Amino acid sequence: MAVALDDLLERLHVVALPMRVRFRGIMIREVALIEGPTGWGEFGAFVEYEPPEAAHWLASGIESAYGTRPPVVRDVIPINATVPAVPAAHVPEVLERFPGARTAKVKVAEPGQSLADDVARVNAVRALIPTVRVDANGGWTVEQAVAAAAALTADGPVEYLEQPCKSVDELAEVRRRVAIAVAADESIRKAADPLAVVRARAADIAVLKVAPLGGVAALLGIAAEIDIPVVISSALDTAVGIAAGLAAAGALPRLEHACGLGTGGLFVEDVADIAPVDGGLPVGDVTPDPARLAALAAPAGRRDWWIARVRECHALL
């Protein structure tokens, strides 16, 4: 979608959201929001991403701000609770922020922690939430993933292992050696060919995220080409980005699993509220609260950094 750079920059709001717990190594989540003619868009590529990768995120934000949403077939999307790599004793406090959730995604394979820490965290979640899935973010070797699968299921089932290893070949080997379903995330959103992991039969479930794939339309295009179930997940989005994820999940012809779109509970304050409905989130547009935009505005120097980044990424679209 072609949008003039000057028009885009005039519509930019850069915000810095403080987080309740460290997630992906950060305590402040910076994003640029686009107040577009047809809605709000979000450009929130993580700061370490280089322009060729970040440009997909900008394309997604432009689509949301200047385009139209697809028709939906469901109005409420079931969501999972997201449990960072916190000590087991802190799990109840984290889960309180996800009222009604019946599924929880638990971060594992955190650097500096042990498999015993992961088992304790998963068991603490399992005591409160019936369905547990785990996300290793590619942090294990094949052997570590196989050992972890056995340890994490010793006291109860696990719905799936998300991205246990980095490469497609490793995922395929883990899938052959464990009885748990394997889900692919980074192997799809960071790949030059997002469908390679499916062709290699390396995953049972595809975790798709709107922003890294370039927008709702691009995500739905990929979902239409694969024959495995899809889970729509957040890239630590604000409420604006979550709305795009909900739109994608609402438009999927088939949705068999809870989606990872409840990460707003990780922020101390968001730019808008999306009220949960019995463990789900409603599909619909989101408009940031002007007072929150002002209160959460990033410092001038950081705003300048994001403007420069938008310029770099826009040139690649």
Residues 289-300 pLDDT 10s: 999 999 999 999
Rg (CA), the chain: 19
**pLDDT score of 195:** 82
| 70-74: long-range pairs with CB below 8 Å, 24+ | 70/216, 70/217, 70/220, 70/247, 70/248, 70/251, 71/251, 72/247, 72/250, 72/251, 72/283, 73/250, 73/251, 73/252, 73/253, 74/249, 74/250, 74/255, 74/283
Q: Is 162 flagged in the annotation as binding?
A: yes
pLDDT score, position 48: 95
Domain boundaries, the chain: 5-70+291-315, 76-288
Active site residues per annotation: 107, 209
Homologous superfamily assigned to 5-70+291-315: Enolase-like, N-terminal domain (3.30.390.10)
Q: What is the pLDDT of residue 194?
A: 78
Q: What is the pLDDT of residue 203?
A: 96
Please identify every stretch of the chain with a pLDDT value under 50, giving residue numbers as ranges: none
**Pick from 40, 213, 66: nearest CA to 31:** 40
pTM: predicted TM-score of the whole model, two decimal places: 0.93
Q: Is 35 annotated as a binding residue?
A: no
Tell me the C-alpha distance between 204 and 197, whole Å.
Answer: 10
Q: What is the pLDDT of residue 145?
A: 98
Residue 298: the pLDDT is 98
pLDDT of residue 32: 98
Confirm whether residue 185 is marked as ligand binding: yes
- The verdict on domain 76-288 having CATH code 3.20.20.120 is yes
3-class SS of residue 155: coil
The per-residue pLDDT for 71 is 97
Give me the pLDDT at residue 189, please: 78
